[in-house]
Amino acid sequence: MASPLPSFRAEAPTEEVPLLASPLPPLPMPLERLALVSWVLGRERAAELLCGLEEGAATSASEHLRRLATLPSAQRQAKVSVEFGERPDAAARLRQLMSEAPPLLRAELLRRLPPYHRTLFPSEPRGTPRQDVSPALGTLAERLIREATR
């Protein structure tokens, strides 16, 4: 009895076609940045992600990854920020943060903003740092600035 489904036969290719007709294009970013991206996106699998590179590049990227792994978390986060920049809406987020912050926190935020972000708030008074501000408030201000800009 014949099967109701048609049968398919694999035909032998007539000629071999290479998968890539031209040499591989150069990497779109330096290996150190590639290692950083693999760390950020696939922490546990970062080394595995880099194995797909050609041998010399994979070795170099793995070395960058080892160096990244030895850095403290804060330094890795700073490196990510420096390499990949600020959020495109950082100015709007900082304005919102300043509008919602109580006066003491607002003053501390303004004091800890980088000079290029202080220009967003020309009407805010610039005084000397207060001595009665707790270190925790300063830490909070720095954290809020990082969260708003990165």
- Give the pLDDT confidence score for residue 18 in this predicted structure: 52
As for how many domains the chain has, the answer is: 2
Is residue 1 in some structural domain?
A: no
Total-model pTM = 0.48
Domain that holds residue 41: 31-84
Specify whether 74 is located in the same domain as 56: yes
DSSP one-letter string for 55-87: HHHHHHHHHHHHHHHHS-HHHHHHHHHHHH---
Specify whether 69 is located in the same domain as 101: no
pLDDT digits (tens, 9 = 90+) for 57-114: 888 889 988 998 888 887 887 788 777 778 889 999 999 999 999 999 999 999 998 8
Residue 8: pLDDT band with limits 50, 70, 90? very low
Q: Which residues contact 129 (CB under 8 A, 6 or more apart)?
A: 111
Is residue 17 in some structural domain?
A: no
Specify whether 113 is located in the same domain as 78: no
* Angle formed by the axes of helices 135-149 and 90-100, nearest 10°: 140
